[in-house]
Structure 1
Amino acid sequence: MHKSKINRLLFIVFILSNTVAAQIKFSGKVTTSEKSPLEYAEVILFSENSIALINRLTNEKGEFVIEYQKGKYKLEIRQFKEIFYTKEIELTSDFDVGAIIVNVANVLETVVISKKKEVVERKVDRLVFNLENTISAAGGDALDALKVTPGLQVRNESITMIGKSSIRVLIDGKMLEVGEEELANLLRSISADNIKSIEVITTPPAKYEASGSSGLININLKKAKKDSWSLSLGSGYLHRSEDGEGAMTSNFVYNKNKLALSSSLNYREGGESFDYQDDIYFPDQLWRTGQEFKRNYKRINTILGLQYLATSKWAFGFQYMGNFNKTSGDRETKSTVYENNASTSFNDIIAFTNSSQKPEFNSMNFFNEIKLDSVGKKIVLNLDYFKYSNTDTRPYEGTSEIIRPYDFKYFKGINNNNQKTNNFSGKIDVDLPAKFINWSVGGKISVSKTNNDISSFNSGLVYNPVTDLLLTTNKFDYNEYIQAFYFSGNKKFENNIEVQFGTRLEATQTKSYDGSLKQTVSNNYTKFFPSINISYSPQENSTFRFGYSKRIGRPNFMELNPNVTYVNPFLTVEGNPFLRPYFIDNFELIYSYKKLESKLYYSIENNMYNQIGLPDSTTYLVRLTNRNMFNVKRYGISELYIFDKFDWWTSNNVFVLNYLTSETIDIPAKGVDGFYSTFSTNNDFVLNKTKTLLFNFNFVVMPVGTYGVNRLESSSSTALSVQYLVLNKDLRITLKANDIFKTDKMRFNSTVNGVYRDSNYYFDSRYIQLSLNYRFGNKNVNVGKREAGNVDERTRTGN
């Protein structure tokens, strides 16, 4: 960070500290007449003219803290529009009012029954989508849940924030340090019925790792309230165009006395088919390639968490996460080659590829949380370890037949890659709430080591069938070390102003070794990552927000692997050990009024990397690889509107429009500038008075757009769901039809090295699904999940 930026940040801290010098801290505890704490009650200060000045919610212990300037006010305590307590007070100095006893005898039962969070909530730095209040992802998996989350887009195995680039995914605050395909496998093994809410964090505070260029997605799993337990069991069947999927899910939570437990076990087995079509226009030939890829899979996911409250100020525990997958695939590829302007082909290349993968992911988190006082000072220590391994085998063979002059050749090969990634990390976070500002400081050390043992053989085109596979071996090792320190502050001012600010310093050292080249590549860098979020509410239901954060996008371990996989002799897929991280600056200005949220955003993405097809007009070989290849600027606007005027209809709607400029870097292609837009609507309907018959309609349309060197064609998706609740609403039966019109296709085109490519991909997203879920125990389900310290590294392995 430049000296001028540091001075500006220190100046902001100085202003904030002095602005609040005259504030008074007023605290207390709200309890019922039975001495039970009243949770989520509103504590409001009114002016002498009955204008609401500041309000706070009580926590799970009924406690609240209000900081405001000296003066006379009216104190009011209410919940769900029911006023329980009013009193005239005068703030002259800090004081604790003690217990405030309220009478809720005739109201509390109604509150327990009807209490329901908003489907979409907005906080100073994030949007919260309360999935448990919707039916659109019922019976599905976590990837299905992300598809219906406002502001997110899921296409096959790629997850992005609409109008932005890549993100990182966390589960209960623990980042999944895996690659794109492996991340999708993990999310597909987690039941959506186990998810409480999804947080879309577009400008993350300094406490979070700097990875995740456009922000973070945090998936919160369901938890249990004190003195309660709950067990939910589910099963389902999904039928696609050719294949089906069976699923068994379970989730158990328990919280009694000093012990809290949470566990889930989910199993899915099935198959899916993909259809890829590519037309590649070389200067003298047209290559029309079609791929039919069928994949069978078995996925097991388990999560086990334990927390023990040793004393009133010390809690410790662990969380284990395991994900085990076994997939096998068959791919038939046919390339039909035409001379320019010819109507009949002269060369047919047919390839058959088999693949077998067995990725396994094991993660363990140990934590200690020590409270230093009763006002919020605490230390949280996390020690983490995860191991990711994958045995990946891909044999292939085929033939090439030329009509004029006749020529017939064979080819055969295999590629084996055994990957093992180990990560150790330690993380400490210290919360230091003070009279003027709530401070947080902390640090992290992370060590990641990845080893790839590669063996391969490629015959090329030969005249006789290949019988012997003469394997050559290679190694690719990658080590990464990260040291980080951060500080941040949060302050709620008078007049409903809240400011969250901070900066994070990360030092990174990487070292990779490519055995085939006998070459070692090292990269060391140290960067500051500042962030600030400001919220101002001039009146009730009206809020302005500004956010800025600097982020980094680090390549995952598979993207760095130079291993070359052949689809046929003319199409390969490979990683890039010379891939470098990219940096992004995100700016947002948001205005919320009641149920409408309008956002202006601007981002600068430097040295972006992505996969690109590099065609060779001499050999007709197309290499799919990763390259740092463009700088992008985005100018955008988005609108989010929640419609809930009727008890029987809730609708959340998102419209996004942005303009991108792309400047290419050291690649034989020009960037494409242009607009990108999308619209989605997700609607829940209650069809009867007992609220046991529910209906959902979800529609997404993505018109034409641009990104990098690609022009994107339009696509859309339509889904319908019906849910029936029986047995006192403990049994949930859901029937869903997805991508009804089979329009969710990815179509794009580009020109690279003078060669035009037109692609049309379909990922077997049309299906019908029937699912059942039954819940035992206490319905008031809401056990403490822990935030691990190695969340960033885990995402880049795929889990």
Structure 2
Amino acid sequence: MQLAQTNYHRLILNMKKLLLFAITLGSFFSAHAQFGAPGFGGGAKKSTVTGKITATILDSLTKKPIDYATVSLVTAKDNKSVNGGVTDEKGKLSLQNISPDTYKLKIGFMGYKTKTVDVATTPAKPDQNIGVIYISPTANALADVEVTGTKAVIENKIDRMVYNAEADGTNAGGDATDVMRKVPMLSVDVDGNVQLRGGAVRVLINGKPSGTMASSVSDALKMIPAEQIKSVEVITSPSAKYDAEGSGGIINIITKKSNAQGVSGTVNAAVGTRQNNGAFNLTAKTGRLSVNTSLGTNLAYAQKSIVQFDNRTTYPNGLVNSTSQDGFSKWSREGYNGSFGLDYDFNAYNNVSSTIKYNGFSNGGPGSADYVINGQPFMNVSDMDMGFNNLDWNVDYKHTTKKEGEEFSISGQLSSGRNTTDFTNEIIGLFPARNNSNVGKNNEYTAQTDYTYPFSKSTILEVGAKGIFRNINSEFDESSQDFEYNQNVAAAYGVISFNLSKKLKFKGGVRSEYTQIDFNTQTSGLQKNDYFNVFPSAIISQTLKGNATLKLSYNRRVQRPSLTYLNPFLNNSDPLNVRQGRPDLAPELSDNFELGYSTFIKGSVINASVFYRRTGGVIESSVTTFQQGTATGSFTSYINVGTAQTYGANIFGSYNPKPKWTLMSNLGVNTYEVSNSQTGVSTGTFLNYNIFARSAYGFGAGYNFELFGVVNSPRRTYQGKTDAMVFYGASFKKDIMKKKGTIGVNVLNPFTRDLHIRTVNNSVTPTATLYQSTNIYYPLRSFGVNFSYSFGKLKFTEKKKIKNDDVKKDEQQGGMGGGIQQ
């Protein structure tokens, strides 16, 4: 009762703070209106009427939109430039505030012939819609288009690198984990945990968070069929507009859900020896109303994973206790997801949209192990079942004005989730049979507002505020230690961008976040953990000769522990390998510096960067021992182990030795070193690396063949390391049904059934020395057949959504850290 009253008063206080901020923001808008800010009705009207020129730029061969095409508007009389811009991802262009006159519209894009179109506006008809303008590839680019007819797999844009998954045939039949393993700069371990250049990363779906990522990112990624993914954006230097979570950066997964005029959609299906996938997407648009829906499923067969474990504890008196295990687990997985969205344009300046999304999965299965404890044999029989479901509902309103680039938006999000963990186990002759379960419930409410005001074409101001209110409850069957957790985050930001010179650009800002936390267990009572942080960011970009760009950036970021890290639920599904979270963990704080270079040379792409990151309060798992009868077990929890300094570099290249042949490779290296003067932790410096290589060849007539390989180096922690991981695959596909469909086969690790991962941990304390070795043989080899079909004409569009980018995710397979989610 006391906790509920405290939470109520805090909620009222937070609402007052948000109301005060809203009043301040409203005053800002009101002041603009009084002094003639465009779009809000203030100031005297100009005597000369102005209008707009709109157009859509498409490829003349593929009829697909050309995004980021450069458009310049010049007067017909003296060729004086009066306006300009770039097309969006639908190829659309809108030039505002155009005075009546006769003009020439010049369209240019790398690899295409420059095209000029005459256009005129009059006082009687100030708005001119040119319609569709087709631009043609140059002679060199023409050969490529005729062979592949697809979008480039990798695009290097101004502030991010984009991996176009839909253009990569090797993804057919897999899930999102398989896709992420081939994205430049990312490394993915055997459990599906993702890192960006050795740092933690925030994963968004269509620019916003999802409850499916809350309990375990690795589990959530396995629920998304690869065929449902359009592209993956890698953002290494996010501005202050983004939530500050993710020391390594942000990954944004764009799905194929879209808005389209008329009716369009896709159907995908894959059957294989490891898993089955299915996905269906449908969009319909009539007039100002758009409707879209999607369904997906992921069904993994029950496969046997072999687990070998060796635990030796040596005491100062020379006594040695040993426990070894040789067993297996036979797990299966069933995942489902669906969404439904509405989008309505009231007019050219006001839009409202809403999306509801449901995700659910269950996995688990039986297991058995032979134990040898201090020379005595025993048998362990176990069974586990884990389930998770989550509902996300977004409502978004956006207002634009006649002033190009001015935008105001308000967004709200509700996320409600529930997950369960149920298990039984028995070590025959040593421990009696036991049952345990954990039920986690989460309710999360988010409100956000953003405003963008362009003082000029190059000087743009962005401001905004956000509030997140979370309530989580975790219920345990076998104890009275139920866990209640409340987390509220209030944030505000400001970003300014402008040109220092014609070729030198600057974008910088600051974000402030206040985090208010209280949690309660029946054994420890109410505890609090509040903190305030300021996150500056800045980036300077220099345009060089030959389409090259040089960028220097700095940002500060935070990595809050997720509820899996915090949950005190004692997971003893394996009685001699116990796990438990810690509610008192502090967040990680990191300062990031990066120098990047990118260029295009005769159709080839090169992107190189070097970086330095200093992270305080690094969160890692910590293994200690405990004694239960004659057996010695391992206890795994989490600690803020110390400060890490990371130096690294990344180079990505794409090259076409022949028009039909594409080679692509990425090499990333970074150091690992953690130290703590108070605890005496000093790991020394180690080198980590990850390598990705790909070769794709088009035979013509719709036939394509691709090979890829991934190498991830050993992964270090302050207590030990996990061995390197290598996997490889291939696919062959054929366009059918007038290129609206494809059919193909794919294979992963065909010559080795299992991926062998060995982890060794060492812990030395005044009371004991621990040596722990774990060998997992993960069944990775698979063969599959896939089919896809598209109907209608797809036109992708992105909508502004809420992004809750603020918590560190579980890095353990299957959400083993507990039964609650953020």
Asked if TM exceeds 0.5, the reply is yes
Shift of 1:647: 2.2
- CA distance change for structure 1 residues 273 and 626 in 2, over 3 Å: closer, same or farther? farther
Greater shift, 739-748 or 319-328, is seen at: 739-748
CA distance in structure 1 between the partners assigned to 2:57 and 2:539 by the alignment? 40
Shift of 1:542: 1.3
- Tell whether 2:484 aligns with 1:477: yes
Shift of 1:787: 1.1
Does the 8 Å CA contact 1:162/1:656 hold for their aligned counterparts?
Answer: no
Q: Secondary structure of the equivalent of 1:763? A: strand
For residues 703-782 of structure 1, the aligned pairs below 5 Å read 703-704=713-714, 706-742=716-752, 744-753=755-764, 754-778=769-793, 780-782=794-796
- Tell whether 2:594 aligns with 1:588: yes
- Tell whether 2:436 aligns with 1:415: yes
For residues 397-546 of structure 1, the aligned pairs below 5 Å read 397-400=426-429, 409-435=430-456, 437-456=459-478, 472-492=479-499, 494-515=501-522, 517-546=523-552
Greater shift, 325-334 or 518-527, is seen at: 325-334
Give the gaps of 5 or more residues in structure 2.
1-49, 98-103, 119-124, 315-319, 811-819
Could you say which residue in structure 2 is the equivalent of 1:373?
A: 402
Q: Which amino acid aligns with 2:534?
A: F
- CA distance change for structure 1 residues 608 and 104 in 2, over 3 Å: closer, same or farther? closer
CA distance in structure 1 between the partners assigned to 2:95 and 2:499 by the alignment? 11
Could you say which residue in structure 1 is the equivalent of 2:242?
A: 208
Q: Secondary structure of the equivalent of 2:177? A: helix
CA distance in structure 1 between the partners assigned to 2:73 and 2:649 by the alignment? 35
Does the 8 Å CA contact 1:84/1:103 hold for their aligned counterparts?
Answer: no
Does the 8 Å CA contact 1:282/1:617 hold for their aligned counterparts?
Answer: no
Does the 8 Å CA contact 1:717/1:741 hold for their aligned counterparts?
Answer: no
CA distance in structure 2 between the partners assigned to 1:568 and 1:100 by the alignment? 67
Q: Which amino acid aligns with 1:293?
A: S
Shift of 1:587: 1.3
Shift of 1:446: 0.8
Does the 8 Å CA contact 1:184/1:798 hold for their aligned counterparts?
Answer: no
Q: Secondary structure of the equivalent of 2:216? A: helix
Q: Pick from 351, 354, 357: which aligns with 1:315? A: 351
For residues 14-53 of structure 1, the aligned pairs below 5 Å read 29=53, 31=55, 40=67, 41-43=69-71
CA distance in structure 1 between the partners assigned to 2:358 and 2:554 by the alignment? 35
Could you say which residue in structure 2 is the equivalent of 1:647?
A: 659
Q: Pick from 187, 193, 197: which aligns with 2:231? A: 197
CA distance in structure 1 between the partners assigned to 2:266 and 2:582 by the alignment? 45
Could you say which residue in structure 2 is the equivalent of 1:336?
A: 372
Shift of 1:492: 4.6
CA distance in structure 2 between the partners assigned to 1:432 and 1:540 by the alignment? 32
Shift of 1:288: 2.5
Q: Which amino acid aligns with 1:287?
A: T
- CA distance change for structure 1 residues 97 and 491 in 2, over 3 Å: closer, same or farther? farther
- CA distance change for structure 1 residues 755 and 712 in 2, over 3 Å: closer, same or farther? same
Does the 8 Å CA contact 1:212/1:551 hold for their aligned counterparts?
Answer: yes
Q: Pick from 104, 107, 117: which aligns with 1:77? A: 107
Shift of 1:704: 4.0
CA distance in structure 1 between the partners assigned to 2:530 and 2:394 by the alignment? 28
CA distance in structure 2 between the partners assigned to 1:199 and 1:183 by the alignment? 17
Deviations 1:123-174 (A, max 9, x none): 3432111112211212222222111111112223343334312211101111
CA distance in structure 2 between the partners assigned to 1:362 and 1:294 by the alignment? 29
CA distance in structure 1 between the partners assigned to 2:373 and 2:678 by the alignment? 30
Q: Secondary structure of the equivalent of 1:474? A: coil
Could you say which residue in structure 2 is the equivalent of 1:694?
A: 704
Instruction: Give the structure-2-normalised TM-score.
Output: 0.80
- CA distance change for structure 1 residues 439 and 510 in 2, over 3 Å: closer, same or farther? same
- CA distance change for structure 1 residues 45 and 730 in 2, over 3 Å: closer, same or farther? closer
Instruction: Give the structure-1-normalised TM-score.
Output: 0.82
Does the 8 Å CA contact 1:307/1:784 hold for their aligned counterparts?
Answer: no
Shift of 1:360: 0.9
Q: Which amino acid aligns with 1:266?
A: G
- CA distance change for structure 1 residues 398 and 616 in 2, over 3 Å: closer, same or farther? closer
Q: Secondary structure of the equivalent of 2:482? A: strand
Does the 8 Å CA contact 1:37/1:62 hold for their aligned counterparts?
Answer: no
Could you say which residue in structure 1 is the equivalent of 2:331?
A: 295
- CA distance change for structure 1 residues 82 and 291 in 2, over 3 Å: closer, same or farther? same
- Tell whether 2:304 aligns with 1:273: yes
Residue identity over aligned pairs, in percent, reads 21
Q: Pick from 259, 263, 268: which aligns with 2:289? A: 259
For residues 585-664 of structure 1, the aligned pairs below 5 Å read 585-594=591-600, 595-616=605-626, 620-664=632-676
Shift of 1:321: 1.1
CA distance in structure 1 between the partners assigned to 2:230 and 2:213 by the alignment? 25
Shift of 1:418: 0.9
CA distance in structure 2 between the partners assigned to 1:794 and 1:508 by the alignment? 14
Q: Which amino acid aligns with 1:276?
A: V
- CA distance change for structure 1 residues 755 and 541 in 2, over 3 Å: closer, same or farther? same
Does the 8 Å CA contact 2:438/2:477 hold for their aligned counterparts?
Answer: yes
Q: Secondary structure of the equivalent of 1:558? A: helix
Q: Which amino acid aligns with 1:251?
A: N
Could you say which residue in structure 2 is the equivalent of 1:342?
A: none
Q: Secondary structure of the equivalent of 1:566? A: strand
Could you say which residue in structure 1 is the equivalent of 2:553?
A: 547
For residues 107-122 of structure 1, the aligned pairs below 5 Å read 107=136, 116-122=150-156
Could you say which residue in structure 2 is the equivalent of 1:129?
A: 163
Does the 8 Å CA contact 2:485/2:517 hold for their aligned counterparts?
Answer: yes
Does the 8 Å CA contact 1:239/1:769 hold for their aligned counterparts?
Answer: yes
CA distance in structure 1 between the partners assigned to 2:537 and 2:408 by the alignment? 22
Q: What RMSD over aligned residues (CA atoms) do the two structures have, in Å? A: 3.5
For residues 56-75 of structure 1, the aligned pairs below 5 Å read 56-59=85-88, 60=90, 62-63=92-93
Give the gaps of 5 or more residues in structure 1.
1-25, 68-73, 88-95, 339-345, 401-408, 457-471
Q: Secondary structure of the equivalent of 1:577? A: coil
Shift of 1:45: 9.8
CA distance in structure 1 between the partners assigned to 2:809 and 2:722 by the alignment? 27
CA distance in structure 1 between the partners assigned to 2:755 and 2:331 by the alignment? 19
Deviations 1:565-593 (A, max 9, x none): 21444321111112221111111111113
Q: Which amino acid aligns with 1:78?
A: G
